[in-house]
Amino acid sequence: MGLFDVFKKKANAWDDAYKANPQFYSKPDGQPFCAFALTEGTDTILPKAPRFAVEGRELTDYKLTLVSTTKKSIIGDLDYFEAVRKLGSFISDQNDDNILIRGLSLSELERLLK
């Protein structure tokens, strides 16, 4: 493998990864929040610092929803910024705006919830 093959592999990792899309929901009290999904076994691109507004008001509540393909369900969610800190050792690459998280196993996802 030559030097340029390393660059190709890194570029392909970003190209092949799922880019998590923001989903917007309301809490029971009507307050909006934004959630991103992290799915078991899936390389995922997440924003470092998401910023969105709903009806002209900037959101302050962001969640990371953990999805298991083994259990075929959502296994939990975390405060987004807390989750990103916990994901530090699973970051395979990053740029100015995004982090690339390698696909996590079910047990790794479950450990994030602790």
10-69 pLDDT tens trace:
668 899 999 999 999 999 999 999 999 999 999 999 999 999 998 898 999 999 999 999
Q: Give the pLDDT confidence score for residue 91 in this predicted structure.
A: 97
Shortest CA distance to 75 belongs to which of 42, 28, 107, 31? 107
Q: Give the pLDDT confidence score for residue 106 in this predicted structure.
A: 98
Shortest CA distance to 97 belongs to which of 55, 53, 49? 49
Cβ-in-10-Å burial (0-12, 13-18, 19+) of 38 comes to buried
Provide the 8-state DSSP code for 40: T
Higher per-residue pLDDT: 67 or 4: 67
What is the pTM for the complete model shown? Answer: 0.88
User: What residue segments make up the domains of the chain, in order of their start?
Assistant: 3-112
Pairing of strands 98-101, 91-94: antiparallel
Residue 84 clears pLDDT 80, i.e. is over it: yes
